[in-house]
């Protein structure tokens, strides 16, 4: 994380003003391992939350100084209502969601726009070997939706869009029922 500021500054010096910064990194981790191995849990939290906070802080500072630019932050529906099956990953995404929401508010009027993307299950390398969940997307579908949302200067986007009302309803479920929900 100590090199994030230098990296972004170097990119801007070599290539000129940065138009779009996309934060699309993370790890799912192994929930069962994380419950017994604090270092593994911290590795997931560091990658999926702390490192992203670092990049976002440095990138937003650089874009503010330019007076323009877009930040695309990939959170996840897993952070909207954290569940037993992946609470380490989900809690990191919940933290990222909150940080990005506050950062977006702080950028208002600066010329810098933040798009918070909340995909559901994405069929890709991170989920390789897993059975796709209902309403799954491919990386190409996610990219198409994000590009369209950037063009509209949307504040957030759910992928697919049908997940937004689904998760609105899921947030209303009592804990005893939520606990029994399958993946």
Query: Each residue of 90-120: pLDDT tens digit?
Result: 999 999 999 999 999 999 999 999 999 999 8
Count: domains in the chain? 1
Tell me if 183 is assigned to some domain.
no
Place of tokens 């940080």: 99
pLDDT tens track for 12-57: 999 999 999 999 999 999 999 999 999 999 999 999 999 999 999 9
Tell me if 143 is assigned to some domain.
yes
**Catalytic amino acids?**
89
Kindly report the backbone phi and psi dihedral angles of residue 16, in degrees, each rounded to the nearest multiple of 5, phi listed first.
90, -170
Q: Identify the CA nearest to 4 among candidates 66, 46, 42.
A: 46
- Output the domain CATH number for residue 140: 3.40.50.720
| Range of the structural domain that residue 136 is part of | 4-178
Tell me if 47 is assigned to some domain.
yes
Split at pLDDT 50, 70, 90, the class of 130 is confident
Split at pLDDT 50, 70, 90, the class of 183 is low
Tell me if 147 is assigned to some domain.
yes
Contacts of residue 44, defined as CB under 8 A and 6 or more positions apart, other chains included, come to 27, 28, 29, 34, 88, 89, 92
């Amino acid at each position: 994380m100590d090199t994030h500021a230098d990296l972004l500054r170097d990119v801007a010096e070599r290539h000129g003003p940065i138009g779009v910064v996309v934060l699309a990194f993370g790890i799912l981790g192994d929930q069962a391992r994380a419950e017994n191995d604090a270092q593994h849990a911290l590795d997931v939290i560091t990658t999926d939350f702390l490192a992203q906070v670092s990049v976002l802080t440095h990138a937003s500072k650089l874009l503010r100084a330019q007076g323009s630019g877009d930040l695309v932050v990939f959170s996840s529906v897993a952070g909207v209502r954290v569940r037993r099956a992946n609470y380490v990953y989900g809690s990191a995404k919940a933290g990222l969601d909150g940080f990005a929401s506050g950062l977006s508010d702080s950028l208002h009027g600066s010329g810098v726009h933040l798009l918070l993307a909340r995909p559901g299950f994405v069929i890709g390398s991170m989920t390789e070997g897993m059975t796709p969940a209902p309403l799954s997307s491919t990386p190409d579908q996610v990219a198409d939706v994000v590009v369209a949302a950037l063009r509209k200067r949307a504040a957030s986007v759910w992928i697919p869009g049908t997940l937004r009302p689904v998760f609105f309803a899921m947030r209303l479920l009592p804990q005893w029922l939520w606990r029994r929900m399958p993946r």
